[in-house]
Each structure stands twice: as structure tokens, then as C-alpha cells.
Structure 1
């Protein structure tokens, strides 16, 4: 930790509020240590972070409540300050630049890769690039999802400041810095005189675990080396390498180094509609999302991540499969509202937990076994015990494939026989048969083939709506659903199948807005049991790109793909949805969005070869 200037002067001034109290969701970058993540705004403020792991209570949450959420910010006093943000190439090291009439200042943010959750740290270096700046620093932690402030004191050993949870539920933090700060009732603040050539460091860590009182450059070099080494393993060599690499770097940040599981997104509570109620907690491991993520990792050559996830699956899930788990395999994820938080731009309720955890979703069996099939193709191990567990999943599918469920979109309006669930039941049996054939493993092949073919004929005959000339969302419905785009992607039908091509045309007509694809629309009869509208789903839009490529419309697929990249933020990050005004909505960044981007890029490149 170094500072080339004397201790800073101090100000009692508090951090200024954002002009309208909230920045757009897209105005954030993400950093992480493979146990937790933090969102850093384009203005240099950490406005979201859970500690010590993804699904722990937040200590910074200003993105969900501008008043009581908590933050850790740096802000230049100059009124004309503009900001730019970028990643160092091939890394998750984030730079935020402050550009004003006073000159240029720079903030570098990163988390060292930690072996254990308790080894958490954030390194923040303020650098005077040119000129002289006055920079406000404000550290306002709020423990327990914003319910409690912090008890702050000088560290008795003289090293920095101790920041305690008054109720002792979350670990004590330690801020290491040479800057002199003022302790207040709710945190720390100061005014730093930053001159050209100054480097002033702040290390926020835990008062346990690794001792991070080390030279900044040592930590920076180790972190940069980790990420650049990891990035060079990426086997994608196509036209959109930068976008694909940023996407897989983001997927890696959403993966637990300890458990091998992945979270669906970094955040909870960010709305799918401003002011609406569709505000969910995505800091958990969905079997579906994780299965697709592993497919992306395998395609790009990251077999270690797939192997670690398979270990987690074998250990936590194979006895009884449910649609989502905590990152350590927790099975009960009780949903509740944090009524003390106003929500992003007043979007409430802010929910933690997820009430869909005990929903019945038949599609997860196909998505998981398809991933195991791909893992097997990549040389993964299928032991006898693992195979016996897989056959039990197939037996369950054979016994229950006609059951109604809540479907891929986790509707809360009641169960139906959803098209996508039926297709994935077919996939589950088909891929298990392929694994058995490849490995010469024992199974009742005749029985499996009979049921697989029965499912195929049921879908072909009973999910087709002659009036709409399309496969419909669920049996007996009269609405189309973008999940039908997955039918050729899962190799259930040929991309030249006439009925599917008509379904594709119906999706283009009814669910598209230029390159944006909505998953379904209430005006066409779809219902999910919730009020309000939602934006276009990013994953559906990239499925659309893949389908265009598969049916031979390569030029159109390329244009659509590149226009979709234009909806990413300044760092190449994407949330769950694109709103009706072009804004990013929903939890951020979203694994679904980035893994589908990777898949679409691969498909276009494949067709261009």
C-alpha cells in the first residue's frame, strides 16, 4: 500500500447523490473474486456487494435504495467531471477515469482471486494522471441488506479502520489506507488532494483471512496474471472475439471457486419493469442456467469449470433434482420481501430468496442430461455410480413426461403442459441413449426409444395449432412462445422442418421488435400470473440469431447479432432484458444473456466456414 503524498486533508462533506438518485442499470461494471461480486458505477461508486459470498446479505446496496442501501464512492469535486470506464483487456480489472477541467484522475478496482470466502479484498487505487484534483471519498456500509449501519473505529494496531456489523452477523471489515478519514455515525469520509503522479490506495478487506497489507503492485500483478492466463485458454477464434471473451469472463465471475456452482446473475431485486413487481433474486444456481453455462465453457475449452460443476451436481443434486439450489446445494430458498428498501427507482417489492425453488419444471432434466452428454463428448468421466443416477433421472422422465409443470419461464399462473418442457423430456431420453451407446453402458434401450418416439409424436401432433400455423406455448393454447426457437437448437427438429419454419415466422411476426424478441406477450393470450409488462429477453434475441444462421439466413443473422451487441453497455455487459425504451432491465449482468451471445457467435462462425 503506497501513497506518494502526505496524508489527505479531511472534509465532513458527504457523498453527493446521483442527479435522479439512481444511475441506469447499464452504467455499471462488475468485479469479483469467484466468491462474490461488486458493481462499480461509471462514476466510481461501489453500489452493490454481498459479503462474503454471492448469496450473503448485502453491505452495499445503493442501487436498490439510494438512501439506506450503502456505498463506497470516490467523486471529483469539479462540476464539469465526465467519466469513462474500461476493463484492462482479457481481465476483470476495472478502470474508471475522471475527466475534468482540472485534468485526469483514474480509479483502478479489482478483487484478488481468493481461495476462501474469508480471503475477500477489494483494491482501489486513486491515481493522479494530470493536474490537481479534489476527490471526495465516502464509505457508507449498510449491513444486513441495508437494515443496519456500521460501527467504525480506528484499528487498535494502527492499521486502518475497523468496520463492524453492530449485530455481529456479518464479518468485520478492515479498510487499509494511508489517507486520513473522518469517522462518522454511518461510516468514513474525507477530501483528498490528488496531484499528478500521486497513487493513493484503499484496500477493503476482512479482519481475518489473508493479510492484505502488501504492495499494491504485487496484488495487481497477480490478479492481472490470473485473468490474462485464464483468457488465453479461450478457444474461440471467430470474428467477435472481444464480445465472446468478455462474456465468458463474466460467466467466470458468476462461478463459485469453492463449490463449482454458478449463479444466474450477480444481483437481486433489479426490476424487469420500472415501478413493477417483477423483481427477483437471481443469486442462486438454476440447473437450466448452469447447464447452458457449462455448454459455453466446454465450447470455449474451459473443461475444468465443467468438471467442477459436475462434481457439484453429483454431490448435491442427483438424489432429487429440483430447478434451483443455493450455491452450496441448499434446497430451501424461502422468498421474502425487504420492505425497508424502496427498490431501484421505486420498484418494489425487493425480494430475496426465490419462491420458484419448489416449482415443478420438467425441462431441467433434458437440459442437465444434454450438458452431461456434451461433457462426455469432451472426455469427461461417466462412472458407474454417475450413470446409475442418470438412469434414475430418465426413469423419472419416463414416468412423468405427461405431467403439467410451470415451464421454463417459471410462471405463477398455474401448471400447464408446456411445449419446451415436452421437448426437453425428449432431449433427456435421447441424450441418455447417446451416452449409453457411446460408453456401452447398460440401459433398457428399447423402452427408452419407445417413450422418446412417443413424446416426439405427441409434440408433433398435439402442440400444433392449425389456425395459428405454429407450435404453441402449451398444449391447447393459442399463443406462441419464443422458447420454441430452441427446438432446432436442441436438435428436436431440423431447421428446415416446415412446421417449425412456420412457427419461426409466427415468432417473427408476433414477438419481435426489429432484433429484439419478447418471450411471449399478454396481448396474444399469454399469462404468467403477474402484473405489468416486461422488456425483450436478451437470450431469446440471441436464440433468434442462432435460428437465422441455422436456416441459412447468414447475412441477416450477422446483422441482427451485431445490432444486439449494440444493446450491451459500455463494457460489453448485458442484463436480462432490453426495455421498451432501449434500457437494460432486470438483474445484472445476466448469465443467460452472455452464454446465448457466445452460442450465437459460434453458430454464425460455423455457417461461415
Structure 2
């Protein structure tokens, strides 16, 4: 299979959708008009039938480099050859907080030294390649259209330029060649829902668009309050999270991609282009810790709307995930005509896990409300009324089997992590009520919270393993429980916890990389294996730091940084070979990276303070 490696991409976006730009100059993934809309370019999942927007030097004999323009979401792909050096600068101007169908992919072509001829191929495949389109060429560009969506290609040129050489349209695809010499800048803008036919854009206007986009990102990043040891790494993760936030609602997608495999050739290929309650709730901690209060507040509004919509529904007040606009139609289907990333099938569209019962989401949601409250984002009256109903439901329903955090499809179990986070939900609700004198059945909530604690300590603990285990009917370890000291359920140096950490060291950790669990020991209803889970590796760093194992924590963190791709992005998992696999980039991983950096910074600072007596 010829699909470009998952990690060989940078991400650009406009806060409503995103695109992946390969190191070969090809846009291999782009959905329009939203993250969860059908794809237009999908070569990442099928090189032949997925569609792409490719810019590369004509002929062979060149090497490529890729970078982010500093402190921005602008990707620069450079081509170096004996004839000269050229580059393509890719970005998407921010679309704003009002949902719109207008999105612009901007591709600025520049010859830096010598001369370079660029081959340009625009080959859209609308609706995952299921919808035919027409292509109409004009003097100023082209229009690619279906009965539902049209993309307009504008050209960037000066009045006295010669026309692009060898321009043609064949089977709905555009092919062109552009010859540039040192100092020349030209390019293209691919626009959805354009307000007119293709037009010529002057280079000065092109440059202004670039300057405005860079200015937006630098102004946004200037709000970051983090001044720790890993500023560049944390800043890149923060920008990545912002890129995955749907500005009109504040919902954070788990990843901008779908169907990228957890094992190449396997069936664990999920659609992650949705807002998980869990992942997005974690974003509140990270955003507030970095000083991005407005983003945390907007997600709080999004979450509040979901709670108010679903209180009293069957199966619990909340679904585990939603579309970015808050709707819940995530029916899973198979894109039969796509081969999948390097033959990994099925290619799944939608997510059948959306209606699973995962009790931990209530803990994450209430913990985010609690953290927000401490940062000054006080829950209003309507919000508290909804929270009360949620917690009343949790108090009555926590003691039941569920599917668990990892969305296994092997049947419901009494998962320890789910019980842990139900404890968190009730504990945070109690604290919020007491802090603000809010009406609440505190005696009932407290009784159930304490019952959860006692049950987890009795049944979630294995005397044989000397560790907390995945669920009550197994002795399998599970790295989701690395959050036990983080949420305050156990002290970070409690003997039971230190024993659990030792057990995980021996079974789930391989050279600092951490598996979620052993799928052979804990059947999850799916065939195949998976790589180490990057979220869990960073959570392991945090657990080591809290346990006082600072040298191990720092070494594990620094090692994990070497698994980032060339522009600092992480997918979901790391394969045995060190290759990044799973959906990319993954918000959960970058959230956990930020948490690990902050936790490790604090622990190192505390140690330094003790050493100096300060």
C-alpha cells in the first residue's frame, strides 16, 4: 500500500475543520465544512480512491523537510534539489465562531533559491469518494462541484504573469505545472461556498492573508501562562488542541481523522471526529492550567447544554460522545470501496460506541465543573439544577456493569475506573454544593460516595496481584487507574498505590511506553493487538512524579518526546517499531502531555525549593 505514513503529516485548520499536509506536499485528509463532514481529500485512507491536493517538484531528485512557522498553525513544506529550493506554505484563515460553509485552504508556492517547477494535482473525491463531481476550468481557476458542495480554486498571480503551463482537466481532476525562479511567490486558494466565480488574487493580498493568520495564532498563544521547562512542546500541544476545537460550540474533537488503525492491517479502526465528554472534560484542566479561560468556559457551556438536553433520558443523562454541534446521530457504517490505511479494514464511518454506558464520563464532567469553579467559572442556577439531576442519577445507578473507558465490545463489567470516577462525580458535587451553599441531598450523595470507596477498596483490589485491577471479575491490570492519585482517591504514596504502580511497571510498561491493558488476558471483543497508548504513557509520567520517583518520571517524559513526529504531533498509539498508529493527531495524548509537563514541573520545582531551603 502506498498511503503516506500517519506521522508524516502536519495539521492546519480554521477552528471548524482541519486538513493534514504530508511531507510530500500532498493534502491527504480534509473534511468540509466541519470536522465530522464527509471527506473531500481522503488519500490517507486510500491513495487511489481517496482524493488529494498535491504540490511537488516536477521530476525526481529532491528531498523534503517540513516545519511549523514559529508559534503558529502554518505548515511549511520545503523541497531541496540541485536546481533550487522551493516551498509550499499551507494554512487556513480562522473561520470564526459562527458556523459557516466558507472555508479556505491556502497554498502559497515560493521559490527560495535557483529555480523550481511545481506539479499541481487537484483530485477531490467528495463524500468519501461516493459522489461524482464536475470540474470546470476558467482563465482564473476552476470549480469542482457536486449537487451538495462546490469548491472554487482561485489562482494567485500578478497581471503580467504568463499563464500556468500545461493546464488540463481529466476525469474531473486538474493538473498543472508552475515554473518559478528565486524570489517569486504564487499559489492557490481552494474555497468552499465561494461568493463568486474563480478570481485572480494578487501576491500582496496573499501575503496579507498569511500575516493575518500568523498574527491570530501568535496573539492567541501570547495568552498562555505556562513558563515551565518544556515551553515549546507545551505550546505546540496547546495550538494542536485549539485546532481541534469547533469554535461555534466549543466542542473538542478527539481527532480530526477516522479509521486509522490501532494495528496496521487490523480491525480496530474507529472514527474519532466527535466530541467525547471524557476527552473534552480533560481539556478544561489543561486549558485552565495554561491560562486559556475563555476556551474552558465555552466547553462548559457546551457540556451544560448536553446535560440539560438529556436529563431524564434512558441509559443515563449523557451519551459518551456527540457531533461537534451537539447532535447525537453517530450511526456506524463501513466505507466498503476504500482499502483502508495500508490495507487496514474495515474503514469505519460513525461510531457505534456512542450509545455505550461508560460511567466514568460523569466523574470527568463534574471534575471539570469543579476545576472551572475554582478558576472563577461559577456554575449558574440552571447549570446547578442539571448537575443535581445528573448526580441523583449517578447515586442511584453507579453500581451496575458498563462498557468501560476503552469502549470494549466484549460485554459489560463492573469496571474499577468507572466506579472510581462515579466517586469523583459525587465528591465534586458535594464540594460544589458546600462551597456555595447550593441545595442538594448531601446525606444521600455522601452515603453513596462512601459506598463506592469501600467497594473499590474491597473488590477493585487484588490481594494476589497486590494491585488495583481492571474490573471486579479479573486480575488484569489497567493503566486507566493511573488517575487514582490524580483525582484524590488514594494518596500518591499510599502503600496500595505504590504496589499497583510496581505491578504496572512489570506488566504494562516497556521502556517507559505504557499499554492500556493486556488484550490477550482481558478479551475485549476485537481481534488483533495494539500499540502502547500515548495518553497512558504521559499519565504514567504524572503518577511517577506524584510518587516521588522524579528521575524516572523525567526520563520517561523525555523519552516520550522522542516519539513525537517531526513537527511535534502525536497519534493515539506507538507501534512496536516506534511508528505512530491510530487516529492523528489525538487530543487526549496532547492533553495528557500538558498535564505531565505541569505535574513534573511542579515536582521538580518543589524538590529544588527543598534543596535550597526556600
TM-score (norm 1): 0.94
Which of 435, 440, 459 pairs up with 1:462?
459
Post-superposition offset of 1:209: 5.2
Q: Distance in 1 between matches of 2:439 and 2:56?
A: 65
Q: Which residue of 2 aligns with 1:551?
A: 547
Alignment pair present for 1:220 and 2:216: no
> Equivalent of 1:119, from 81, 98, 102?
102
Change (3 A) 1:229 1:61: same
Secondary structure at the residue paired with 2:484?
helix
In the other structure, the counterpart of 1:170 is 149
Partner of 1:425: 422
Instruction: Report whether the alignment pairs 1:190 with 2:157.
Output: no
User: Contact conserved, 1:118 with 1:209, CA < 8 A, in 2?
Assistant: no
- Please give the residue correspondences for 1:340-379 in structure 2 after superposition, counting only pairs within 5 Å: 340-379=337-376
Distance 1:414 1:80 in 2: 54
Maintained 8 Å contact 1:404/1:416: yes
Distance in structure 2 (CA, Å) of the matches to 1:453 and 1:207: 56
Indicate yes or no: 2:504 matched with 1:502: no
Please give the per-residue CA displacement for 1:321-348, whole angstroms capped at 9, x wherever unaligned: 1111111111121000000100000001
The aligned residue for residue 328 of structure 1 is 325
Pairwise CA distance, 1:186: 2.7
Q: For each residue in 1:67-102, what CA deviation from the matched residue of structure 2 results, as whole angstroms up to 9, or x when unmatched?
A: 010000111124221111111111001111001111
2:34 matches 1:53: yes
User: Which of the numbers 386, 395, 400 marks the counterpart of 2:392?
Assistant: 395
Distance in 1 (alpha carbons) for counterparts of 2:375 and 2:471 = 34
Report Cα offsets for 1:515-545 as digits up to 9, x if no partner: 110001134x212100001000000000100
Q: Which residue of 1 aligns with 2:240?
A: 250
Question: How many Å separate the matches in 2 of 1:117 and 1:559?
Answer: 45
Q: Relative to structure 2, which stretch is displaced further, 445-454 or 354-363?
A: 445-454
What is the CA deviation profile of residues 231-263 of structure 1, one whole-angstrom value per residue up to 9, with x for unaligned ones?
Answer: 111111001000100001000000011111110
How far apart, in 1, do the equivalents of 2:370 and 2:193 lie? 44
Give the 4+ runs in structure 1 shifted more than 6 A: none
Residues 1:449 and 2:442 are matched in the alignment: no
Q: Which residue of 2 aligns with 1:521?
A: 518
User: Retained in 2: the 8 A contact 1:78–1:100?
Assistant: no
Aligned to 2:565, which of 569, 573, 580?
A: 569
Which whole-Å CA distance do the structure 1 matches of 2:107 and 2:150 have between them? 20
In 2: Cα distance, 1:584 partner to 1:591 partner = 14
Distance across 1 between alignment mates of 2:73 and 2:523:
39
- Runs of 5+ in structure 2 lacking a partner? 158-162, 312-316, 606-614
2:371 and 2:195 map into 1 onto residues whose CA distance is 38
Of the three residues 6, 22, 43, the one matched with 1:41 is: 22
Give deviations 1:175-206, integer Å, cap 9, x for gaps. 43445331221310012212111111201112
Question: How far, CA to CA, are the matches of 1:301 and 1:21 in structure 2?
Answer: 42
Contact 2:297 / 2:377 at 8 angstroms: preserved in 1? yes
Instruction: Give the deviation of 1:217 after TM superposition.
Output: 1.3
Q: Unmatched 5+ residue regions in structure 1?
A: 1-19
Partners of 1:45 and 1:450 lie apart in 2 by 58
Deviates more, 1:374-383 or 1:58-67: 374-383
SS in structure 2 of the partner of residue 317 of structure 1: helix
- Among 274, 280, 301, the alignment partner of 1:290 is 280
Q: Is the 8 A contact 2:143 2:150 kept in 1?
A: no
Are 1:599 and 2:595 matched, yes or no? yes
- Alpha-carbon distance in 2 for matches of 1:359, 1:259: 24
1:129 and 2:115 aligned: no
Partner of 2:11: 30
Q: Which residue of 2 aligns with 1:94?
A: 75
**What is the match of residue 410 of structure 2?**
413
Contact 2:307 2:386 in 1 (8 A): no
- Give TM-score, length-normalised by structure 2: 0.93
Distance in structure 2 (CA, Å) of the matches to 1:348 and 1:175: 36
Contact 1:323 1:361 in 2 (8 A): yes
Q: Which residue of 1 aligns with 2:261?
A: 271
**Residue 138 of structure 1 corresponds to which residue in structure 2?**
121
Select between 299-308 and 566-575 the one with higher mean Cα deviation. 299-308
The structural deviation recorded for 1:464 is 1.1
Residues 411 and 528 in structure 1, CA contact (< 8 A), matched pair in contact too: yes
Count of aligned positions: 585
Partner of 1:11: none
Query: Which residue does the alignment assign to 1:107?
Result: 88
CA RMSD of aligned residues (A): 1.4
* 1:52–1:118 CA contact under 8 A, matched in 2: yes
SS of the equivalent of 2:357 reads coil
- d(CA) in 2 for partners of 1:182 and 1:288? 48
89-98 vs 191-200, which deviates more? 191-200
Q: Are 2:285 and 1:304 aligned? A: no
Q: Contact 1:78/1:102 (CA < 8 Å) preserved in 2?
A: no
Counterparts of 2:100 and 2:70 in 1: how far apart (Å)?
26
Report the CA distance shift for 1:172/1:93 in structure 2 as closer, same or farther (over 3 A): closer
**Quick one: distance in 2 between partners of 1:252 and 1:160?**
32
Deviation for aligned residue 1:207: 3.9
CA distance in 1: counterparts of 2:187 and 2:598, whole angstroms: 41
Q: Distance in 2 between matches of 1:480 and 1:134?
A: 56
Q: Per the alignment, in what secondary structure is the counterpart of residue 522 of structure 1? A: coil
CA distance in 2, matches of 1:294, 1:81: 44
- 2:223 is paired with a residue whose SS is coil
Cα distance between partner residues in 2 of 1:28 and 1:210: 32
